[in-house]
Amino acid sequence: MGLTEELFTWIHEKKCQKAVESLARNGFVAQYCPTPQDAFEYIIEEATDAESIGFGGSMSIVDLGVEAHLLSLGKKVLNAGDHALTLDQRLEIMQRQLSCSLFLSGCNALTLSGELVNIDGVGNRVAAMSFGPSKVIVVAGRNKLVDGTVEDAITRIKNWATPPNAKRLHYNTPCAATGFCGDCDSPDRLCRITTVIDRNPRCSDVRVLVVNADMGF
């Protein structure tokens, strides 16, 4: 590792650890993961007794490669992201995710004050993050950290998360074409539900893994 990379990793470690401390103060079970492999191993361990595992459509989770591993272990996986499924089939999976044993999700932005900020189009992901599943594990890469307010986090999402998501999903939105938010009224608009989880939800077990690596967007 060169000196630049070493120092880059060091400064991100400090930011990640500050986020973990804030999350713990806010009642979450929070853990610093130096590498994505650490997050992978945490999830696989926590999935040992899970009967059904829901996926919230997160690129961070996709990049970890946990789904294939869980399937190889014979686990029941609930993933509505397969576009070969009909809309009704996808909606049914989303509803079943609300009562699954373990729900896996990314996070669009995580403030250093320990607030999880997300924007959804359907709302199934943020619903499951808040209530329903027996356990929720949120994976937040260092690129999701925001040293600022909830408003700064929302700005981060609309500038860095939604445009590539809209492009990935072939949505007809200004951000998918230009890379910048146009605060659109498009029928394809992704930004319909904005949530801030600033304390561990009262009846939920939400774990947050803060990873010192860029994950998702």
Nearer to ligand SF4, 12 or 144 (CB): 144
Torsions phi, psi of 58, nearest 5?
A: -100, 130
Q: Is 217 helix (H, G, I), strand (E, B) or coil?
A: coil
- Alpha-carbon distance of 173 to 162, in angstroms, equals 10
The nearest distance, CB 192 to ligand SF4, in angstroms, is: 9
Nearer to ligand SF4, 135 or 189 (CB): 189
- Alpha-carbon distance of 123 to 119, in angstroms, equals 8
Nearer to ligand SF4, 184 or 193 (CB): 184
The nearest distance, CB 123 to ligand SF4, in angstroms, is: 14
| Residues near ligand SF4 (CB under 6 A) | 158, 162, 166, 173-175, 181-184, 186, 189-191
Nearer to ligand SF4, 144 or 189 (CB): 189
The nearest distance, CB 127 to ligand SF4, in angstroms, is: 19
Nearer to ligand SF4, 99 or 155 (CB): 155
Residue corresponding to tokens 């394809």: 188
Q: Which residues contact 123 (CB under 8 A, 6 or more apart)?
A: 192, 193
The nearest distance, CB 179 to ligand SF4, in angstroms, is: 10
Q: How far apart are the first and last CA of the chain?
A: 24
Q: Is 208 helix (H, G, I), strand (E, B) or coil?
A: strand
Nearer to ligand SF4, 85 or 193 (CB): 193
The nearest distance, CB 160 to ligand SF4, in angstroms, is: 10
The nearest distance, CB 44 to ligand SF4, in angstroms, is: 34
Q: Is 197 helix (H, G, I), strand (E, B) or coil?
A: strand
DSSP letter, residue 15: H
Query: Which of 16, 39, 19, 36 lies closest to 28 in space, CA to CA?
Result: 19
